[in-house]
Amino acid sequence: MTAIRLLLVDDDPLVRAGLSFMMGGADDIEIVGEAADGAEAEALVDRTRPDVVLMDIRMPTVDGLTATERLRARADAPQVVVLTTFHADEQVLRALRVGAAGFVLKDTPPAEILAAVRRVAAGDPVLSPTVTRQLMRHAVGTAADTRRIRARERLAVLNDREREVAVAVGRGLSNAAIATGLFMSVATVKTHVSRILAKLDLNNRVQIALLAYDAGLLEEEQEER
């Protein structure tokens, strides 16, 4: 089995040391480098080609948000998991909007951080339905009317079935749960998700969820029930 190549980015050397000790003990994870800010992280990505970057947000010189946006814009972009001390912080939301696959709190138990790295390396987001709903409520509460209008304009390219899948993704459901709820196969769900990502020029399911919330689709679904 090929080890997951992981880059650690945090301006606190003690945090980096703790993460390195914790993550480096896993047989399926290889620490390929450590960086103290976003600029250093970008340079290390060029040299080490990590699969996943564990990225602090608040750092000097180049912060984690800027670095995440730059990294996710690359053709060979690594997955990014944001490190934060807040559940529903505006900067976390911004990181998710530019392509981060999810976030973990700095006080998260080691086993859960390991699980998060493994999940994003496998192409899955690291937001549970509970955390997703909390973040989305925050996003809707701070979204301007213009954001809703723009989100609805972007989603207009989806057909009815894709729209249903987008709403289900916004609810934080897995492919299996979406398949059960919409009476389709898991393979069909994956196909719809891939088409949604391509049509909307998005990186991952988290961005689909944010767009669905921005457009008010989750509110409409609740009203229809």
pLDDT exceeds cutoff 60 at 224: no
Token pair, residue 180, equals: 């059960």
Q: Judge whether residue 143 has pLDDT over 80.
A: no
Residue 105 to residues 24, 195, 224: CA-CA distances in angstroms?
Answer: 19, 31, 34
Listed in order, strand segments (DSSP E) in 115-197 are none
Pick left, alpha or beta for residue 99 (phi over 0 → left; psi -120 to 50 → alpha; otherwise beta): left
Residue type for position 224: E
CB atoms within 10 A of CB 49: 12
Provide CATH code, domain 4-136. Answer: 3.40.50.2300
Task: Give tens-digit pLDDT for 106-139.
Answer: 888 888 889 889 988 987 777 655 566 666 666 5
Residue 123 neighbours by CB under 8 Å, 6+ apart: none
Q: In sequence order, what E strands does the chain have?
A: 4-9, 29-35, 52-56, 79-84, 102-105
The whole-angstrom separation of Cα 43 and Cα 185 is 42
> Three-state DSSP class for 76?
coil
Residue 169 and residue 209 in contact, taking contact as beta carbons nearer than 8 Å: yes
Is-above-0.85 flag for pTM?
no
Least confident of 80-89, 115-124, 153-162: 80-89
Minimal CA–CA distance to 76: which of 45, 97, 100? 45
pLDDT band at 84 (very low <50, low <70, confident <90, very high): confident
pLDDT tens readout for residues 30-64 = 999 999 999 999 999 999 999 999 999 889 889 99
pLDDT digits (tens, 9 = 90+) for 179-215: 999 999 999 999 999 999 999 998 888 889 888 888 8
Q: What is the pLDDT of residue 52?
A: 96
HSE-CB at 55 with a 13 A cutoff on CA atoms is 38
Domain spans of the chain, in order of start: 4-136, 142-215
Determine the CATH number of domain 142-215: 1.10.10.10
